[in-house]
Amino acid sequence: MPRDAEQERLTVAGREVAISNPNKVLFPEGGYTKLDLARYYAAVAEGALRGAGGRPNVLVRYPNGVGGEFFFQKRAPQARPPWIEVVTLRFPSGRSAEEVVPRDAAALVWMANLACLELHPHPVRTDDLDHPDELRVDLDPVPGVTWPQIQEVAGVVRATLADVGLVGWPKTSGSRGVHIYVRIERRWTFDEVRAAALALAREVERRAPGLATSKWWKEERHGVFIDYNQNAKDRTIASAYSVRPTPDARVSSPLTWDEIAACDPADFTLATMPARVARIGDRHAEIDNHAGSLLALLELSARQTAEGLGDAPWPPHYRKQPGEAPRVAPSRRRAPSHPLIEIGRAREKSDALAGLERWKARHPDAATHLTPADVLVDALRGRHRTWTRVRVNLQHVPADLRPTQEPLDPDENMGDEWTGVSKRGVSQTGRPRRTPARARKES
């Protein structure tokens, strides 16, 4: 029997879990295999379950490793052990799905066997699916922003949370940013938690206007974007101890506030994290003892509304909300505030970025004026996978050097995952439109 068809059986939490194709390499650069991933989650299970345990989880699967296609799986596989718990979630679209609820280390190892690199829990517990117990602050740097600026914005978030009586628990995102989790009392709806998160984002922007932004549209952002929409219902982000799909198998690492000032996110990987946990334990071990109230943030939200700040845009597949401004990107308004052109769309990000390089070669004079933040790389997520769209903001290019819109390169049809998309991949509104039964977008 070929070695890659073998199974490895791990005994975890009193259960035997089979790892199929244990030597399949998921991270070519480091040579980390599926078995390495399973052993990692067994080693960090206590902390990982503190973040993702007892919650419905979306399965984000990388069956062919970080260089291959991945897909989102809301519905728990039909073929699963009887001890894998599921719970039925209902989504804004009106659909529902049974999602996996990990309760012990064995469940995490079973998920690893499905090549689930990341843990993507919803911010609710299974005994109350309508009231989140967590507010999530996602600090997402625009291209060109360096780690020191992210550290500085994290400090502003910490001070702002303290002023409204809340305790933040920071962690690296495992990519370029920082996540700050805030345990809250289970008294408020998803919409109320999102309103509180928006108020917080706007207050941080007010305190650090040159460093942070709450602006939803990419062409309006600068510095570090505080993604308030991560608190909308049906949104998930990688939780603590999640392995991220980076070449070095980077991990989303819980931190103390003091560690933010000194750490390098690249220090936390699948290979290094188990030793850190064995040495110092889980930096978020006390998180559940600090559930706070959102009343102060909701009062701040009311004051911001009274001052003329209405609701901010929601993700594109959500219904238009009461009080929400017209959901039209600034570059697509009748009087556009930003000169954007679209370069191309592709199934693979590398193909879309190759199209950008070809565009730069055709327009070298314009390309020299672009800043990193002028290149907008969007993940357009359908029902199961992502497509990549590349756009360019020509705001820093002199008007006489600005190229006009050209045929997309690459120009890949996004298939039946989207409706309202032409053969060229551009909808009437300039963004993909969702059918109720199909598309979703996650950060």
Q: What is the DSSP string of 197-240?
A: HHHHHHHHHHHSTTTEE---SGGG--SEEE-GGGGSTT-----T
323 near 310, Cβ under 8 Å?
Answer: yes
Q: What is the pTM of this model?
A: 0.79
Question: Tokens at residue 402, please?
Answer: 């600005």
User: What would the DSSP string read from start to end of 168-207?
Assistant: -EEEE-SSSSEEEEEEB-TTS-HHHHHHHHHHHHHHHHHH
**pLDDT tens track for 384-418:** 567 888 988 888 888 888 888 889 988 887 654 44
Q: What is the pLDDT of residue 422?
A: 30
Question: Tokens at residue 326, please?
Answer: 């017209």
- Residues of the chain short of pLDDT 50, as ranges, are 1-4, 416-443
Question: What are phi and psi for residue 308, nearest 5 degrees?
Answer: 105, 0
Q: What is the pLDDT of residue 334?
A: 54
249: CB partners within 8 A, 6+ apart: 27, 30, 32, 243, 269, 270, 271
439 near 72, Cβ under 8 Å?
Answer: no
Q: What is the pLDDT of residue 418?
A: 41
**pLDDT tens track for 74-119:** 999 999 999 999 999 988 777 889 999 999 999 999 999 999 999 9
Q: What is the pLDDT of residue 433?
A: 33
Q: What is the pLDDT of residue 378?
A: 81
Rounded CA separation 376/368 (Å): 16
Report the number of secondary-structure helices (H) and strands (E) in the chain.
10, 17
Q: What is the pLDDT of residue 333?
A: 56
Rounded CA separation 298/200 (Å): 9
Average pLDDT value for the chain: 87
